[in-house]
């Protein structure tokens, strides 16, 4: 028995990237734009979606893929809005995966009538770290950061704040009650992701949600434009 060195030179996430490209091809064939919605647990992703989708997004046919470690609490909430929702649980394996990867999303595709959708919103598992590493074949990534989490988060989770095209600052109705300095937050956000788009809102009161809705409603058009 002897040892041989094998040259690999491969990104460890190549396998995920390959499946993400396959997802992307399927999405493009079906003409559906896909958003990956990420945040820490409890930042308000589901409440934001409830608000955004309550009155629909214009003529867009919207579906939601709901990622959770366990259960279907969020999917049940969204199903009330008469939006097609597919639940994806990551509970198998090492105590449940803390993120969605391209393969998990791929496994859920047969349950989604992609041809009947214009916009698919994938609500990722609440986590500020791992989801940033795993592309799923999406067109755009939105991260929600709530003021209750503190204004230092861009500096603590730069990978996540750099991995998105839009940052939604949620729960601004709590600003009078928490030590959250919005200008300081935006300054730190600009340091780790210069020029990234950001919107402030309260999914609870509805303040500022209109701008989030507009951003989403315009996304399919923007994604189709040549880059």
Partner 1 sequence: MHELAISSAIVETALRHAAGRRVTHVHLLVGHLRQVVPASLAFYWDVVTRETLCEGATLQQDLVPARLRCDACGWAWDVEELAFRCPACDGPRVTVLQGDELIVETIEVEVEDPCTA
- Which has the closest alpha carbon to 196: 224, 155, 168, 157? 168
Rounded Cα gap, residues 42 and 219, in angstroms: 25
The least CB distance from residue 143 to partner 1, in Å, is: 15
**Contact in structure between 38 and 121 (CB atoms under 8 Å):** no
Q: Which is nearer to partner 1, 10 or 59 (CB)?
A: 10
* Distances, alpha carbon 81 to alpha carbons 46, 62, 116, 121, 162, in Å: 12, 11, 17, 14, 32
The least CB distance from residue 192 to partner 1, in Å, is: 5
Q: Kindly list the residues in this chain that would bind partner 1 in the complex (CB under 8 A).
A: 1-16, 94, 97-99, 127, 129-130, 132-134, 155, 158-159, 162, 190-195
Identify any residues that bridge with 119 across adjacent strands, giving them in sequence order: 33, 62
The least CB distance from residue 115 to partner 1, in Å, is: 32
The least CB distance from residue 204 to partner 1, in Å, is: 28
* Distances, alpha carbon 2 to alpha carbons 5, 7, 8, 55, 157, in Å: 10, 16, 19, 67, 44
**Contact in structure between 199 and 169 (CB atoms under 8 Å):** yes
Q: Which is nearer to partner 1, 177 or 187 (CB)?
A: 187
Q: Which is nearer to partner 1, 72 or 103 (CB)?
A: 103
Q: Which is nearer to partner 1, 131 or 220 (CB)?
A: 131
Question: What are the structure tokens assigned to 101, written together?
Answer: 């990867």
Q: Which is nearer to partner 1, 12 or 176 (CB)?
A: 12
The least CB distance from residue 125 to partner 1, in Å, is: 11
Region of residue 31 (phi > 0: left; psi between -120 and 50: alpha; otherwise: beta): left
Question: What are the structure tokens assigned to 70, written together?
Answer: 């366990």
Q: Which is nearer to partner 1, 1 or 225 (CB)?
A: 1
The least CB distance from residue 220 to partner 1, in Å, is: 25
């Amino acid at each position: 028995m002897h040892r041989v060195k094998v040259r690999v030179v491969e990104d460890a996430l190549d396998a995920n990237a390959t499946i993400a490209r396959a997802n992307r091809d399927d999405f493009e064939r079906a003409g559906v734009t896909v958003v990956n919605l990420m945040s820490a647990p409890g930042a308000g992703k589901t409440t934001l979606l409830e608000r955004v989708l309550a009155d629909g997004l214009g003529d867009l046919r919207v579906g939601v893929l709901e990622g959770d470690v366990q259960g279907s609490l969020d999917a049940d909430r969204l199903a009330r809005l008469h939006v097609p929702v597919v639940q994806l649980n990551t509970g198998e394996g090492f105590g449940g995966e803390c993120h969605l990867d391209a393969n998990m999303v791929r496994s859920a595709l047969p349950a989604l009538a992609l041809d009947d959708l214009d916009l698919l919103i994938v609500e990722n598992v609440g986590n500020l770290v791992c989801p940033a590493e795993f592309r799923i074949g999406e067109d755009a990534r939105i991260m929600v950061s709530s003021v209750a989490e503190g204004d230092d988060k861009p500096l603590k989770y730069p990978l996540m704040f750099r991995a998105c095209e839009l940052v939604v600052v949620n729960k601004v109705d709590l600003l009078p009650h928490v030590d959250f300095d919005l200008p300081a937050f935006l300054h730190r956000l600009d340091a780790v992701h210069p020029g990234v788009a950001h919107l402030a809102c309260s999914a609870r009161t509805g303040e500022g949600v209109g701008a989030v809705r507009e951003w989403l409603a315009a996304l399919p058009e923007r994604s189709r434009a040549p880059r």
